[in-house]
Structure 1
Amino acid sequence: MTAAPAGAASERLPMRTKLGFGLGGAAETVVLYSVSSFALLFYSQVLGVPAHMVGLALSASLILDALSDPVVGSISDRTRSRWGRRHPYLFAAAIPIGVTGWAIFSPPQGLDHTGLLVWLTLSVILMRQAMTFFYVPHLALGAELSPHYTERSKVMGYFSFFNWAGGSLTTIMALRLFFPSTPEYPRGLMNPGPWPSYAIAIGVVTSVCLLASAWLTKDRIPFLPKAPEGTKLFSFSEFFGDIGKALRNINYVWLLAAYFFVALMIGLREGLRLYAATFYWDLSSETLSWFVLGSLAGYLSAFYFAPRLHGRIDKKRTIMISALAYAVIPPIPLVLGMMGILSPSTPGLAPILIAFAAVQYGAISVLQISVMSALADIADENELKFGVRQEGVLYATRTLAGKIDHAIGIALAGAVITLIQFPRDARTHADVPADVLFDLALWDSVLAAIPGVIAVGFYALYGINRESYERTRAALEERRAAAAAASSAPTRTAPDGGLAPAPAE
């Protein structure tokens, strides 16, 4: 791997770089959060498409998207250009993502259920394929901005915090600006009128922020690792070789296995979250918008504490604790609801739920920061072992596993809505039978937590710590110094006119 120019890459990153990198995470979240949170509700409850069919369409798009992730990662890792390995794709993908994001929530008038399902499937597939060309190089960029153990955690902290900002902006825009409660639609998300305007808003915001992120980080291009001279262009034989190198790192395999179960839990919860909030807890759009406060508290806490926890108790323990907290704490209110302790009429219900939301978002943010930072450490191990840096492939293969499993979770969420016979014409809590609400709560709490608990066991097998990281970095620096010395060693002309090696000193 060609090293970056000395000096600048080893210094603390400027705030502009961290903010620019984080802004890309915010923009990604605007459109991805809209799809994961609103698409099932919009197409099933507003447009009347059967929920299990919507779930299958969303899942199919995720699976196709997942399969392309490692391909794009390998292409990006092998790219040689004056814009580096990542930025050509960041700039190219920004506009297509915004356009396809708009299309998802603005289907043509007059389509029947089959037509709507086809439109949803195609538009989400195109959006996710375009997003792959931003998301995968963007994550890889974050891993290589800094070589330092905790500075990497800080970079991923900005990414996680801006993820929150993007989701919160989307929540506020949707629930306060576009879908407020009205006499005709007391649950504003059921109002079909504002959806086209909302579609335009998320498309414009996403594209502008993605372009800004690419622009604000382009000054780091000279300091980033480059593909070596003579790197072969992408081919499927080279691609499978890249995947094989990644999977030969057992620490990477454990993270993949754990993420499989975490993503299953997230997919199921995301698909059912608005159903539980709207119909189980009977919360209005205005009340739901206040949950931004809980997520703000959680993400700010994670932004501050995650790097410090990595320095104090290391990344592995941080990962295990945050994964367990995310699995078992968020379901507690629903469990209390099933026990009859909490109900929509409980005084102070909203603050209670917001407090649990703070813990939920804090735990998942710490987990995200920690795992993303750990993947950069794995990239060091693979460079030492194979002589190549594989940030693109490492992050993309992880997202492949996660997206396939997330797709299963979303499909399962749609199947659950059908399985529990959730009424398609329900508009409020009163429209849903009590036994259906109980089943909804059971799936969104106890059953959804099981994969998360399993994930903790796999995270416990992860083996990189601060000491092993330091040994790997020292070995890499020694190898790079030797390579630099060899490339700069003087030569002399041999008697036959050829080049002879310089004498040893």
Structure 2
Amino acid sequence: MTPSPLPAQVPTRIKAAHGLGSVTLGIKESGLTTFFMIYYNQVLGFDPRVVSLILIGAMVIDAMVDPLIGRLSDATRTRLGRRLPWLYGAALPMAIAWALLWMSPDIAAHSALGLFLNVVAVRVLVSACEIPSVSLVAELTRDYDERTALMRYRFLFGWLGGLLAVTLAYGYFLRSDDPATNGLLDPSGYAAFGLFGAALILFSTLGSALGQQRRILALPPPRAGAHPSKAMFADIILAFRNPAFVALVSGALFITTGYATTIASTNYMMLYVWQMSDAQLAWYPAGLAIAVFGAFAAVGHAHRRFGKRDTAVGAALASGAIAFLPYAARNLGWWPELGGWPSMGLLLSLQTASLFGLIVATISASSMVAEIVEAHEVDHGTRIEGVFFAGYLMVQKFGQALGIFLVGQLVAYAGLTEQIRPEDWPASTAATMAWIFAGLMILIGIMAALGLRRYAIDRASHEARLATLAATPQNFTDRGKPRP
């Protein structure tokens, strides 16, 4: 029997349910990238190089596990399909691991190993949900624009989850009642921040799975055939030999590096370079929200006009250039008085524009993975969505690790290895830190664009492959060989 073709249009409620699953990723990224380093460094007294090494080591382990999770989710066979059992199984352990990360400062302060294992648990459990969930993009539809729409919703919800956490952190959990004390340096609010994130992780993961369950069970099954374990590593190697995939991940590596460098350095830059108060920091999420909603609205139109690759290239270059401007202007004396509201408003405007570019580039690059799935299917007769998306996420994590490493080294170079108040920090060191950061953002944007330029799949070639697949008989195994 020939299965029904995939429906081109995906209902909005399914897009929303699918997107809801990425809230967990947003919570994790906002916590580990924005607050983790300054919490364990300036609040609990860890050397920033140790904190960055803990984050990097956990990311490397997580990244190496990602392709295995993707391949195992491709091979999963249950009455709930291939992906949903992963979401249901990981939700509660993931929430518990996240809460413990922020609720055990005394234990963590005396055990770098315990902290490392906790971070590894968080990252691997999030991957066990995120990889099967994002792999559904290629299963829910094969339409070029509908896949962009699914990614738009996915990134919208992911950034909204992170934005909600950041907003409440700056405006409530980590805001000090004492005007003389900066809330980011006060340990009292971090436990509540962790509990809130854990509750949101549990709700969003289970809600996403339940919201998509009926639709997923109604999808046609993948091409018949076994997924022997001996083929697992062969499929992973095959994915990384795909020229389009190699081009994509070489650019995406630096897009993610740029985003991680920006977010991981935010609190340090706001406090020590820009001399902002708690009240001014509370406005930062507003700029992030504008960037997120702006990217959500703009990326679909940009893809229709310029294509996914060129949109990503242009956005990455623009983001790096805009990120450079405020730091150069500050150091050249062309900036309003530091710590004042005009300084905060101008900085927030430029940060928002730079983040908008990074988000557009990230959505575009992530959406490009799905087209590689059909290119591989035409060449090899098998669909390995999980492997491709897992490989892509693995490379993104290497980009995050690189970004956090750069920030850790920058913070240590600037003399922030000890706990220090912003008003006690030398102005000359702040200027040096600003120049280094500005130069990094320009370089990262150029590297991202150079990698992405080699990606060759566009709308026309994708639609030609769909026509080829539509004309291909269904009586093949998923390894591309005729059934006996």
TM-score by length of 2: 0.93
Indicate the residue corresponding to 2:67 in structure 1. Answer: 70
Deviation string, structure 1 residues 360-398 (Cα, Å, up to 9, x no partner): 232122112211221111111011111111211111111
Shift of 1:459: 1.0
What's the counterpart of residue 325 of structure 1?
318
The one-letter amino acid paired with 1:415 is Q
Residue among 468, 480, 483 paired with 2:474:
483
CA contact (8 A) 1:245 1:386 kept: no
Q: Deviations over 1:193-235 (max 9, x none)?
A: 12122211111111111111111111221344534433124x2
- 1:166 partnered with 2:161: yes
1:154-179 Cα deviation digits (max 9, x unpaired): 11011111122112101111111111
Residue 378 (structure 2) pairs with residue 384 (structure 1)? yes
Aligned residue in 2 for 1:46: 43
Alpha-carbon spacing, 1:121–1:310, altered in 2? closer, same or farther (3 Å): same
Shift of 1:22: 1.2
**What code does the residue aligned with 2:204 have?**
C
Once the two structures are superposed, residues 306-338 of structure 1 have per-residue CA deviations (whole angstroms, 9 ceiling, x without a partner) of 112111121121111111112221231112111
More divergent stretch after superposition (209-218 vs 182-191): 182-191
How far 1:70 moved relative to its partner?
Answer: 0.4
Q: 1:141 to 1:286 in 2, by over 3 A?
A: farther
Contact 2:59–2:120 (8 Å) recurs in 1:
yes
Tell me: CA distance 1:452–1:335, structure 2 relative to 1, closer, same or farther (3 Å). Answer: same
Evaluate the alpha carbon distance shift between residue 108 and residue 356 of structure 1 in structure 2; reply closer, same or farther with a 3 A threshold: closer
The structural deviation recorded for 1:151 is: 0.8
Alignment correspondent of 1:493: none
* Kept after mapping to 1: 8 A contact 2:223/2:474: no
1:15 to partner: Cα distance:
1.5
Among 88, 91, 97, the alignment partner of 1:91 is: 88
- The match for 2:138 is 143
Q: Could you tell me which of 192, 196, 205 is aligned with 2:187?
A: 192
Match of 2:120 among 125, 129, 138: 125
Distance, in Å, in 1 between the alignment partners of 2:282 and 2:10 is: 34
Who is 2:4 aligned against?
A: 5
Report what 2:443 is aligned to.
Answer: 450
1:149-298 superposed matches below 5 A: 149-183=144-178, 186-224=181-219, 226-233=221-228, 235=229, 237-298=230-291
1:103 alignment counterpart = 100
Query: How many angstroms does 1:293 deviate by?
Result: 2.3
**Partner of 1:283: helix, strand, or coil?**
coil
How high is the sequence identity, in percent, across the aligned residues?
27
* C-alpha contact (below 8 Å) 1:144/1:376 kept by paired residues: no
Alpha carbons 2:135, 2:386 under 8 Å: kept: yes
CA 1:107–1:406 in 2, change beyond 3 Å: closer, same or farther? Answer: same
How many residues get paired? 477
Residue 79 of structure 2 aligns to a residue in which SS? coil
Counterpart CA distance in 1 for 2:382 and 2:223 is 9
Deviation at 1:94, TM superposition (A): 0.9
Q: Evaluate the alpha carbon distance shift between residue 348 and residue 254 of structure 1 in structure 2; reply closer, same or farther with a 3 A threshold.
A: same
Distance in 2 between the 1:286 and 1:205 partners? 26
Question: Aligned match of 2:410 in 413, 416, 422?
Answer: 416
**CA separation of 1:185 and 1:394: change in aligned 2, threshold 3 A:** farther
- Cα distance in structure 1, aligned partners of 2:3 and 2:447: 40
Amino acid of the residue matched to residue 426 of structure 2?
A: P
Please give the secondary structure, in 2, of the residue aligned with 1:425.
coil
Asked whether the 8 Å contact 2:373–2:385 carries over to 1, the reply is yes
Q: CA deviation at 1:31?
A: 2.3
Match of 1:489 in 2: none
Q: Are the structure 2 counterparts of residues 35 and 112 from structure 1 closer, same or farther at C-alpha, using a change threshold of 3 Å?
A: closer
Aligned positions of 1:355-366 closer than 5 A: 355-366=349-360
Q: Does 1:341 align with 2:340?
A: no
In structure 1, stretches of 5+ residues that fail to align are 487-500
Q: What are the superposed Cα offsets for residues 71-117 of structure 1, whole Å, 9 maximum, x if unpaired?
A: 000001111211111111011111111111111111253x48442x2
TM-score, with normalisation over the residues of structure 1? 0.90
Q: Is contact 1:324–1:456 with CA below 8 Å preserved after alignment?
A: yes
**In the alignment, does 2:352 pair up with 1:353?**
no
Question: 1:3, CA displacement in angstroms?
Answer: 7.6
**Alignment partner of 1:10: what SS?**
coil
Q: C-alpha distance in 1, partners of 2:105/2:280?
A: 31
Compute the displacement of 1:248 (Å): 2.9
Deviation at 1:182, TM superposition (A): 2.6
C-alpha separation between the residues in 1 aligned to 2:448 and 2:105? 42
The 1:443/1:95 distance shift into structure 2, 3 A limit, reads farther
1:442-477 alpha-carbon deviations (Å, 9 max, x no partner): 232212331221120111111111111111110011
The answer as to whether partners of 1:69 and 1:396 remain within 8 angstroms in 2 is yes
User: 2 CA distance for matches of 1:341 and 1:182?
Assistant: 34
Quote the Cα distance in structure 2 between the aligned partners of 1:290 and 1:226.
48
Task: Supply the RMSD in Å over aligned alpha carbons.
Answer: 2.2
Deviates more, 1:138-147 or 1:342-351: 342-351
Q: Given the superposition, is the C-alpha separation of residues 3 and 40 from structure 1 closer, same or farther in structure 2, using an over 3 Å criterion?
A: farther
Question: Does the alignment pair 1:37 with 2:34?
Answer: yes
CA distance in structure 2 between the aligned counterparts of 1:22 and 1:338, rounded to whole angstroms: 41
SS of 1:336's equivalent? helix
Within-5 A mapping of 1:299-310: 299-310=292-303
Equivalent AA in structure 1 for residue 12 of structure 2:
M
Distance 1:4 1:219, change over 3 A: farther
Q: Assess if the C-alpha contact under 8 Å between 2:91 and 2:202 holds in 1.
A: yes
Is the 8 Å Cα contact of residues 152 and 373 (structure 1) preserved in structure 2?
yes
**Paired residue secondary structure (1:331):** helix
> 2:251 corresponds to which letter in structure 1?
A
Q: Give how far 1:427 is off.
A: 2.8
Runs (5+) with no aligned partner, structure 2:
478-483
453-462 vs 238-247, greater mean Cα deviation: 238-247
Secondary structure of the residue aligned to 1:374 is: helix
Contact 2:76 2:82 in 1 (8 A): yes
2:401 matched to 1:402? no
